[in-house]
Amino acid sequence: MEMCNSNIINITVKFSGRSIPITLSPDSTIEDLKSLLQPLTNVLPRGQKLICKGKLLMNQMTLRESEVMSGARVMLMASQGLHQGGGPILKEAQSQVISRKADSSSKTVNEKKEVQVDKNRLERWKLTGVVALAECNLKAIPDEVWACASLTRVLDIGNNSIQQVPDQINCLTSLQKLFLNANGLLDESISWEGLTTLKCLMVLSVSQNCLNALPPALGALTSLQQLDVSNNTLTTLPTEISFLSKLEILKANNNRISSIPACIGDCNSLIEVDLSSNHLSELPETVGNLLNLKALHIGNNGLKSLPSSIFKACLQLSTLDLHNTEITMDVLRQLEGWEGFDERRRSKHQKQLDFRVVNSAKFDEGADKN
């Protein structure tokens, strides 16, 4: 009884095999509880169903009114598709092992073969310019990679457990594509100073890691055409992104981004932008400056409106994903330029249907034969 009269209560929320401890006032509403659970579960409040002792808890009622007391266990059921800011999705690396050196103490026949393979691999890297080390259970970038230096055009070390991207990355002066996805990298794990010297870099993927922020140094990668920072824990994008004037594809979905800098409108080469599954409540009006924009994905956000000029100014926009937002068709129809967008959208959809029909049809010269 003494716990019930306390200014705070402690409850446990059961969700997806986890037990989440929550401390709050008994006068907090169920809606307040859902807001607390959002960053902990990445489930939007409107996608949460909370059940205690077999009873569905209603948003406007307080915990006291709902008879949720200290020590109570509350079950959270999530509606499919109403997740946001999913954080890193790390894939299990395959058990392929990169052999670096043979043990000098016992050079068996097998070990000699491994050394020969390494030599062949290094020669192949130098010849093709492609260093492919994805899913190799690596904890560090092998020294052999640096030996390729200016010959490397593509470096793929995704789906490993790389703990550090060192300053030495700056020796890959001809690098055009860099894949660092799914390594569990932290903010301090990446030498951005080293990356900024890569003036030829056009594609950068750091998706499925544990990045909380992107540094201002990102703006120095002025040759970037594709940037994938999805599935991290980012809360915003740096204003220096405005310097990426050649950027065509930006993927920042499944983070915890609550605001987009107005200077995004300076990235006038953008063709496709994916900001779905974040914590956005609005987009800056400057999105209307993206005159080359063809696809905008903003589903699973708390958006209630769009920039007023988006349909009028973005005359190439034909794909707009608004699933699980508060934006209704009535809102869209009131925006200037809606008719033109709707025509482009329908035309693209029809072309996709026609393409599927043509490719699924079987050609038969004898179709009229019995």
Asked whether residue 349 is assigned to any structural domain, the reply reads yes
Domain edge (last residue) among 196, 221, 246: 221
One domain, residues 161 and 280: no
What's the pLDDT at 342?
A: 93
* Residue at 253 is within a domain: no
Same domain for 187 and 93: yes
Q: Which domain holds residue 15?
A: 9-78
Regarding whether 266 and 212 lie in a shared domain, the answer is no
Contacts of 180 by beta carbon, 8 Å cutoff, 6+ apart: 157, 158, 162, 165, 190, 204, 205, 206, 209
**What does the pLDDT average to over 299-324?**
93
Judge whether 181 lies within some domain: yes
User: Residue 52's domain is classified under what CATH number?
Assistant: 3.10.20.90
* Total number of domains in the chain: 3
Query: Which of 300, 274, 278, 180 lies closest to 233, judged by CA?
Result: 278
| Tokens linked to 94 | 């395959």
> In this structure, are 92 and 197 located in the same domain?
yes
Are residues 56 and 90 both part of a single domain? no
Kindly state whether residues 283 and 169 are assigned to the same domain: no
Could you read off the pLDDT of 319-370 as tens digits, one per residue? 999 998 888 899 999 999 999 999 999 988 887 777 666 555 444 444 444 3
Q: Please give the average per-residue pLDDT across 125-150, as a whole number.
A: 92
* Residue-level pLDDT at 234: 96
Residue 229 has pLDDT above 70, yes or no: yes
The pLDDT, as a whole number, for residue 259 is 93
pLDDT score for 5: 46
98 and 216: one domain? yes
139, 182: one domain:
yes
Q: Note whether 144 and 22 are same-domain residues.
A: no
- pLDDT of the residue at 80: 56
25 shares its domain with 133? no
The reported pLDDT for the residue numbered 100 is 43
In the predicted model, what is the mean pLDDT of residues 164-193?
Answer: 96
At 86-124, the pLDDT tens digits run 433 334 333 334 444 434 444 433 333 333 336 788 889
- Establish if 226 belongs to a structural domain: no
Residue 248 lies in a domain: no
CA-based nearest residue to 335, from 362, 304, 308: 308
Q: Given this model, what pLDDT does residue 101 score? A: 43
Q: Supply the mean pLDDT for the chain.
A: 85
pLDDT of residue 90: 37
Amino acid 82: pLDDT: 54
**Residue 350 counted as domain residue:** yes
Instruction: Spell 266-280 as b/e; 16+ CB within 10 A means b.
Output: bbeebebbbbbbbbb
Q: Confidence class of residue 262 from pLDDT cuts 50, 70 and 90?
A: very high
User: Stretch 280-308: mean pLDDT, rounded?
Assistant: 94
Q: Considering the domain boundaries, does residue 236 fall inside one?
A: no
**Mean per-residue pLDDT, 68-76:** 92
Lowest mean pLDDT among 108-122, 164-178, 243-257: 108-122
Q: What percent of the chain has pLDDT over 90?
A: 68
For the residues 171-190, what does the mean pLDDT come to? 96
From 62, 78, 94, the end of a domain falls on 78
Residue 341, in any domain of the structure: yes
**Same-domain pairing of 29 and 92:** no
Give the tens place of pLDDT for each residue, 27-39. Answer: 999 989 988 887 7
pLDDT score of 190 more than 60: yes
| pTM: predicted TM-score of the whole model, two decimal places | 0.71
Domain containing residue 348: CATH number: 3.80.10.10
Task: Specify whether 98 is located in the same domain as 206.
Answer: yes
Residue 139 pLDDT class (50, 70, 90 cuts): very high
